[in-house]
Chain A
């Protein structure tokens, strides 16, 4: 229980260790820990920002989707309209074409009829001539009466 030089020795050792701790331990470890704290804070910040960005992006995507849907609906609408229009037009043109064909056919038929009439007319003339020839064989001279018969045939 004696008080002696140990007191001073301990004081010196204490001051030395405090200095050593200050110089080589404390600032190094605290600095490192602060650096890590900063890193973590930055990381959390970044995560936060990323979360916000994600939210924004999702909102944007949803908006674009909505727009796209509206646009698609408009396009489909227009296409429907257009197709109806095309169908109507097609119907119209088909009907016109039908009419035209029918008119042409009718004209042709008319033409055929006329031609048949023509042929018939000439043949009737021949027939009448032949008949008349038979009837008049004796009395009629072909060369004399031909003009008269031709006039008759032409009036058919």
Chain B
């Protein structure tokens, strides 16, 4: 029983570990699965991590090869398909794929028009990219959890080969996008209102007094509040998506562990997996949509000029 639960834990951990390529420091002791020292590195080395422990020991100087591969691959799938359709698109009667693409574009365009009333040609393409890319990355969730990792293990000949196929279950990916949106927010705020405008936004809200010495007192309070509200935006963006997808993936993995537990449980697991996948279609689209809408809202607030005017 202990061995079995150990292997279940191992299975789950294996599914939750990224294929990590990074730098191990000099003098690092590499262990095999039984905890014995296999080799000691005599100098800092860039290598693939053989275990979750090694991956975390690599620190920041590491990259999740599988996440990047899938996210960039799916990104290219999105832009190339859309660019191909865009190239052949005509204003006559639309057919087939063009119809589908136009439907998505019209939907995004409407969402942007509803939430963003300023002039910026980058916002709509950004919303489209966010929506389609996240939908595609999330959709990898629906591929049964063992197919691609098992195939990669077979293809590389290494039964412990790590391979996560859903990039959005990697917080690096979701937070990466969240912080990029944050960066663009700061950029557009400064571009639109000037650096002093940005500073004012951080220090003169939400409390404001007409007397300068009162303001002096309020500035630290405002800054603390505003800083929290600003920094919470990218983090909540990234973690919301990550949490949803990670939890969903986790459920899929737990259901998958049931497949080995006899015919009855296996069949039951099959039904569960189907039901969860159906439910997850909703989550996939919803999370992509939420990410997109929040980005639009943040961008709109970055373009909003002189909010305090309306109080005077």
Q: With A10-B71, A25-B128, A30-B109 given, is the CB distance from A4 to B86 under 8 Å?
A: no
Listed in ascending order, the chain B residues whose CB lies under 8 Å from chain A are 18, 20, 22, 55-56, 58-64, 67-68, 71-72, 75, 78-79, 82-83, 85-87, 89-92, 94, 101-102, 105-106, 109, 121-122, 124-126, 128-129, 133, 167, 170-173, 175-177, 179-180, 183
Q: How far is the CB of A25 from chain B (nearest CB, A)?
A: 4
Contact A2 B72 (CB under 8 A): no
Do most interface residues of chain A lie in helix, strand or loop, or is the interface mixed?
helix
User: Which residues in B have their C-beta under 8 angstroms from that of A6?
Assistant: 18, 62-64, 67-68, 170, 172-173, 176
Say which residue of A1, A2, A7, A28 sits within 8 Å of B89 (CB atoms).
A28
For the complex, what is the distance from the CA of A16 to the CA of B133, rounded to whole Å?
12
CB<8 Å pairs between A and B, sample of 28 = A2-B58, A3-B60, A3-B175, A4-B61, A4-B172, A5-B60, A5-B61, A5-B63, A6-B18, A9-B68, A11-B179, A11-B183, A17-B129, A18-B125, A20-B83, A21-B82, A21-B129, A22-B125, A24-B83, A26-B124, A27-B121, A28-B89, A29-B89, A29-B102, A32-B86, A33-B91, A33-B105, A36-B91
A39 to B92, CA, bound (A): 9
The 8 Å CB contact of A4, one of B22, B78, B90, B124, is B22
Count of chain A residues near B, Cβ 8 A: 32
Interface centre among A14, A22, A24, A33, by most chain B C-beta atoms within 10 angstroms, is: A14
Given contacts A5-B63, A16-B75, A32-B90, 18 further A-B pairs with CB under 8 A are: A2-B18, A2-B20, A2-B56, A6-B18, A7-B172, A7-B179, A9-B176, A17-B75, A21-B79, A24-B79, A25-B125, A28-B83, A28-B87, A29-B82, A29-B102, A30-B109, A33-B105, A36-B94
